[in-house]
Structure 1
Amino acid sequence: MAPTAAPRRRICFQQRIQPERIDEYRRRHAAVWPEMLEALEAAGWHNYSLFLGPDGLLIGYVETDSLDAAASRMAAHEVNARWQAEMADLFDGIDTPPDEAFVPLEEVFNLESQLAAARTDGARAGHTASSAGTALTTAGE
């Protein structure tokens, strides 16, 4: 079932890879199974990236209509259960499949949102954007 065209939300999460398993984690993600990639796309995972620190801190970023809905759609794909089982031994401190152990992070800043709000508020207050479009100046300054 294809996801609906709901607005995408930016989701960021963290997990932890066992430090001694980092190289193996990198190796497995250098060649993700094609059917897993197709399942992620079909489930509505967009702009999905993983970032790994030298201490095993893993940060994930995905854009989707809903993390819960996207995760449910992934759970319907048989390949997901196989992938999660394949990856589970690399994670640190989890008792569930890795895709059920996300620790979501709160978004506290987004450049585009704040620029749009500043420009909208500035236009209402008599401000105009600079010619470069990156700064606001008060009309008459």
Structure 2
Amino acid sequence: MQRVCFQLQVRPDRLEEYKRRHAAVWPDMLRALHETGWHNYSLFLRRDGLLIGYLETPSLEQAQAGMAAHEVNARWQGEMAEFFEDLGESAPDVGFLVLEEIFHLEDQLGTADQTEAK
């Protein structure tokens, strides 16, 4: 399972509305995300608008392609695009900056356990 962490910048003047929209995401959007491989998906928002997202998926590229095939995603992304800075022509679900994972506790514990067992 691929772990993906990403960042976007929400416009500071739109923070409250952005939070309201995510308190009641459309049920068909929720189902589409789940069906296309967006698992353990969370968003975290800092007061200045820095948005950090996290998800686990077999393949980010396949999860994004799966969502692109859903009509509800086009509607959702169209409504959400106005909340973000620096997207250019990209939709939020493909215009985010993926962060490099440099540490994962369970991965290192597994390696350490194997080394100690030798």
Which protein is richer in helix relative to its size?
Answer: 2
**2:106 counterpart residue number:** 112
Q: Deviations over 1:16-62 (max 9, x none)?
A: 10011111110000000000000001101100000000110000000
Q: Deviations over 1:75-126 (max 9, x none)?
A: 00000000000111000111221112010000010001111110100111xx
Regions of 4+ moved over 3 Å: none
RMSD: 0.6
1: CA distance, partners of 2:94 / 2:104: 26
Unpaired segments of 5 or more residues in structure 1? Answer: 1-7, 125-141
SS of residue matched to 1:28: helix
**1:47 counterpart residue number:** 40
**1:34 counterpart residue number:** 27
TM-score, scaled to structure 1: 0.81
How many equivalent pairs are there? 117
SS of residue matched to 2:47: coil
**2:5 counterpart residue number:** 12
TM-score, scaled to structure 2: 0.97
2: CA distance, partners of 1:97 / 1:45: 17
